[in-house]
Structure 1
């Protein structure tokens, strides 16, 4: 027995040393942050499973990429939900337009999309006011199209693209202009526009289907122990309609939300590293690492206030409670259940201007800005988008959106 223990103890020690940082980020044994700034939050019904949002700040209009709990239960490629045969022939996902002043919303009809796409299958999004006409908006929508042979989806993964539309401010219609499809647009998650026909996008996974599928397992749960590195790519629609892409930054672990910062800065979140990286955008669109901001929590989308430059990050203080609150084919309404709530922490990252902090090398100030330790008011939030003194909170599988008010400009 003693020789066996001698062999096992070093192995166990190594495994613990490797897994402890990851378990910390995922929230194992974490004491939840006390409730903070959730006493002035208001649910906005009808905005279901809206993974991401973009706000036109001068108008107070928000565009949201929405789906349904039932659809997310069967089709969420990033989570390994690849039951394409359970989907309707045409997507029921919708782009919604929310007036933050009145909290009323309406669908935006997407016109001209090629019929072979069978609609949009929404995930992340971004919007760019056209440089020639600010009232003309260019929409960049990540769409995880089911493969042509839907029965093979668990083997092939999604046929993911970025669909580009144009609309007018406040209009309930948008016209399709291009589909960005490329081998490097593999598992797209979140885009950031760099021009009317160009954008960055994160690939949250290295493969469309996890390598464990070779063992007839389609779950991505093994990534909690080991996650292959992926990248951020930059793509451009060429004059002939084809898509050209380059790798802008590689060797990234679960790159998720990205957001344009001031000047030539791009912020990007790593879910499993629990950190936000700031990059400097180079003239060739590659990204040069500039700074690293650790939040020590799994992070989803990030948004930057155009007024203050503050970064707002939606985090999962307990990643396992987040995944357990996801809808399943047998229980698509699970996120609405009181027994499957997921705690929420929204972090704010701001420039540190104190001379003492700057002397100590602390360029950024990090703080929890909103917290719901039991997910009673807000649960499983993946996006926190600031507007004036409000935060718009949405989620990949939340039953509704939520707007929380603060005393001051965000």
Structure 2
């Protein structure tokens, strides 16, 4: 081989590596993994945070505040149960699920009580059979509509197990979960919610979270390209997740491309736009629903670290849970008792000049905040209520 040929080949290799670095590796190293990222201690921020521990407040993936009645609702599964049954991270041990499944918990946030548990009580599902007839739910993300002054409508991502015609469990490691969207109505002040309907559709294959529109249509993130299989394992590197749109009636459809890397807890903002984060990327995709049911990207909010769930407060600000050290987050998701990962709390405001991002809270040393997914900001008091998909506690942060 001549020296000219060697130089040409070397040049091609260098060019290829340069393109790979700029297009993919640079983001993975510095945004996703967080190489060189400097974190701040929790003492730098104007909050006093504490852990509220109770077995019924474990592994609460999502939460929502009813501003009218001052009740905080949480979808909780139990930490050990979540470790065993979590289709998003390929944990398919059905025998480890908590008896009775997950639970919707209600807290009266202005009445902590002498035990500090805010009058903790459960909301019982009525009129729902479940996968095997025992009425159990396997809740993950959820959204809520105010139907009228007295009624709240809950839309749950439900990762119920797959069963055969005789309601015997199938091998979930081979078929995945039989995921659905289940809708319940709750009368304010009551402790029972009545099942309204189940949405099952092939386009809702690996649902993570849901954002509902006023007409009863919704969009949902599919965090992976498939329920199980070889391709699913590579989705966080090369993409494979998408968002689906489901009309008030009729079949659902793919609303986006399938290139997102673990699209996670999307929300519908106060402006009516859809905000979609990625847990293996560093941005929030701002999208507008089109008449044909597709989502058109209209903006991109660069955060610079992986994100879990988003929420919207009464002021219209978006709150995001960041994963500043993603490699620590993976083992913590599988066993938070032995591994922990730091969390960053972001606030995003929409202004006439564009989106403004602000780091509201961080805990470099994992003293209080670890492996968290969703933040609910109570505008009235300034408190933050924070939960995690497998975290064995609820976090409450009081502003100074």
Confirm or deny a common fold (TM above 0.5): yes
> Where does residue 239 of structure 2 map in the other structure?
227
Q: Which runs of 5+ in 1 are unaligned?
A: 214-219, 328-333
Distance 1:364 1:13 in 2: 31
Match of 2:396 among 383, 395, 403: 403
Specify the SS of the correspondent of 1:170.
Answer: coil
For the residues of structure 2 that align with 1:224 and 1:92, how far apart are their CA atoms?
28
Q: In structure 2, how many angstroms separate the alpha carbons of the residues matched to 1:263 and 1:325?
A: 35
- On the 8 A contact 2:209/2:221 being kept in 1, the answer is yes
Change (3 A) 1:151 1:287: closer
Q: What is the alpha-carbon distance in structure 2 between the residues aligned to residue 399 and residue 86 of structure 1?
A: 16
3-state SS of 2:60 partner: coil
**Cα–Cα, structure 1 residues 144 and 268, in superposed 2: closer, same or farther, change >3 Å?**
same
Say if 2:264 and 2:278, in contact at 8 Å, map to a contact too: yes
**2:277 equivalent to 1:269:** yes
Greater per-residue strand proportion = 1
Give the equivalent residue in structure 2 for 1:164: 183
1:336 is aligned to 337
Aligned-pair distance for 1:385?
1.2
Inter-partner Cα distance in structure 1 for 2:146 and 2:327: 38
Q: Deviations over 1:337-385 (max 9, x none)?
A: 4xx22111011111235xxxx3xxxx11111101111221111110011
CA contact (8 A) 1:252 1:270 kept: no
Shift of 1:250: 2.5
Q: TM-score, normalised by structure 1?
A: 0.84
Tell me the SS of whatever aligns to 2:25. helix
Aligned residue for 1:314, secondary structure, equals strand
Query: By how many angstroms is 1:336 displaced?
Result: 3.5
Q: Distance in 2 between matches of 1:174 and 1:236?
A: 23
- Within 5 Å, give how 1:51-70 maps onto structure 2: 51-70=61-80
Structure 1 residue 294, shift from structure 2 partner: 0.7
Is contact 1:277–1:291 with CA below 8 Å preserved after alignment? yes
When the two chains are superposed, the root-mean-square deviation of aligned CA atoms in Å is 2.5
Give 1:42 deviation, angstroms. Answer: 2.7
Conservation of the 8 A alpha-carbon contact between 2:237 and 2:280: no
Q: In the aligned structure 1, how far is the partner of 2:388 from the partner of 2:130?
A: 28
Equivalences for 1:10-409 in 2 at 5 Å?
16-17=21-22, 18-26=24-32, 27-35=34-42, 36-37=44-45, 39-46=47-54, 47-87=57-97, 91-102=100-111, 103-117=118-132, 118=134, 119-130=136-147, 133-148=148-163, 150=169, 152-195=171-214, 197-211=216-230, 220=233, 222-228=234-240, 230-238=241-249, 243-253=250-260, 254-306=262-314, 308-327=315-334, 334-337=335-338, 340-353=339-352, 358=353, 363-388=354-379, 389-406=382-399
What SS does structure 2 have at the residue aligned with 1:206?
coil
Indicate conservation of the 8 Å contact 1:40/1:405, yes or no: yes
Q: Distance in 2 between matches of 1:224 and 1:197?
A: 31
Q: Deviations over 1:258-277 (max 9, x none)?
A: 11212332211122221112
> May I ask how many residue pairs the two structures share in their alignment?
375
Q: CA deviation at 1:390?
A: 1.2
- In the TM superposition, residue 244 of structure 1 has moved relative to its aligned partner by 2.2
Alpha-carbon distance between aligned partners in 2 of 1:343 and 1:195, rounded to the nearest angstrom: 36
Structure 2 portions without partners, runs of 5+ = 112-117
Task: Please give the TM-score of this superposition, normalised by the length of structure 2.
Answer: 0.86
Rounded Cα–Cα distance in structure 2 between residues aligned with 1:375 and 1:60: 29
Q: Verify the 8 A CA contact 1:77 1:158 in the aligned structure 2.
A: yes
